[in-house]
Structure 1
Amino acid sequence: MKKQFAGLVLALAASAPALAASETFVIDGTHTLPRFSYSHLGFSTQLSRFDKTTGTIVVDKAAKTGSVDIVIDTRSVNTGFPLFNEHIQGADFLDTAKYPTATFKSTKVVFDGDKPAKVEGNLTIKGVTKPVTLTITSFVAGPHPMLKKEAIGANATVTIKRTDFNAGKYTPTVGDDVTIELPVEAIKQ
């Protein structure tokens, strides 16, 4: 009886489809530089970025699930002009003395076919958390040609309102809408 049971277990195990496990990728901070843009007095669209980003992305392609956890060092804001960097770090905008990071933590990854298309989650800026949906405009998974490890890359975008995050000084003269673009690369661990 034991041999028959063991044989049945082995037969079932051999015939069951392989279960794909989730894969964890660590953000490559040298190639993940979130950008943000907004209207400046109606004259131009200003574009700035953050130079320090960390986090992880978990993807289970077979189950079509995943998670995203990103931390942006808001003190690394780079407008291209040191005095303006300080201005944006001030209490009227990012208040980096009190809130040195902004975070995004996913609640759901939505797939379109075999690729993620949207990531729903909570964005926290200046101590205020709001639900947002990142729209993924491109996604690639494959071997990294230089590191010889599996990697993923994506571009995502979302538009938020500064006033929702207590950073609305000079609104509406300086645009309330801020478009955040997140180019991300991550390496499998």
Structure 2
Amino acid sequence: MKKILIAAALASLSAASFAAPESFAIDPTHTSQSFSYNHMGFTTQTHGFDRSSGKIVIDRAAKTGSVDVVIDAKSIDGGSALFTGHLQSEDFFNVEKFPEITYKSSSVKFEGDKPVSVEGLLTIKGVSKPVTLKIDHYVLQPNSMLKKDQIGANATAVIKRSEFGLAQYVPYVSDELTLKIAVEAIKE
């Protein structure tokens, strides 16, 4: 009986020693980040950023992870050259002075085998605030074309733009922004 218990203990230790964090590079061609807001009660407007990079680390056995994202603020798309320029100006994102928006996680919450939320710091215009990303969809599986594991996830959060120095036209234009992120990341 002792031999069986010792063998079981050794087997569990060796299985644990194989578990390790896996690193995934964000695929910028299949990742999008957008924000929407109420425009004076008329419509919900949506705009986004065209360029981002970063890394996701997942340890499936330990049920831990991290997220590190950098968004190129200059890549904002307002739908027209005039409005894009307005969003890039000092009135809003001030992209000349603050060319990057970042999100760095502090923890990832799992339910079962899947992450369901990420706690972290969002930094816009040099202002960092805690933001929780709620993961609405998550999959980690082999990509049949690349022959590598790949993560796909959709996440949302709601922030007050005034807390990040983006208060122009509040309350006429909603202070609340809904952030949406669709990310694909390929195992390194």
Q: What is the alpha-carbon distance in structure 2 between the residues aligned to residue 107 and residue 150 of structure 1?
A: 24
- Give the alignment's TM-score, normalised by structure 2: 0.92
* Residue aligning to 2:138: 139
Q: Distance in 2 between matches of 1:148 and 1:14?
A: 30
- Mapping of 1:166-181 within 5 angstroms? 166-181=165-180
Partners in 2 of 1:170 and 1:14 — Cα distance?
62
* Partner secondary structure for residue 30 of structure 1: helix
- Percent identity over paired residues: 54
- What is the root-mean-square deviation of aligned Cα atoms in Å? 1.6
Q: Distance in 1 between matches of 2:12 and 2:120?
A: 38
- The Cα offsets for residues 34-61 of structure 1, whole Å up to 9 and x where unpaired, read as 0110011110010111100100000001
Post-superposition Cα deviations, 1:71-115, rounded to whole Å, max 9, x if no partner, equal 000100112211111100111110101000100000000001110
| CA deviation profile, 1:112-161 (whole Å, cap 9, x unmatched) | 11100000000000100000100000000001122111100100000101
In structure 1, how many angstroms separate the alpha carbons of the residues matched to 2:131 and 2:8?
Answer: 47
How many residue pairs align between the two structures?
181
Residue 162 (1) aligns with residue 155 (2): no
Structure 1's unaligned 5+ residue stretches are: 1-9
1:109 maps to amino acid: V
| Amino acid corresponding to residue 172 of structure 1 in structure 2 | P
TM, length-normalised to structure 1: 0.92
1:30 and 2:33 aligned: no
SS of the residue 2:15 aligns to: coil
> Bigger radius of gyration, 1 or 2?
1
* Structure 1 position 18, deviation (Å): 1.1
Residue of structure 2 equivalent to 1:115:
114
Q: Go from structure 1 to structure 2 and tell me whether the alpha carbon gap of 1:15 and 1:106 turns closer, same or farther (over 3 Å shift).
A: closer
Residue 45 of structure 2 corresponds to 46
CA distance in 1, matches of 2:116, 2:12: 32
1:148 is the counterpart of 2:147: yes
Q: Which residue of 1 aligns with 2:3?
A: none
Runs of 4 or more off by more than 6 Å in structure 1?
none
Partner of 2:13: 16
CA distance in 1, matches of 2:14, 2:127: 44
CA distance in structure 2 between the aligned counterparts of 1:15 and 1:175, rounded to whole angstroms = 53
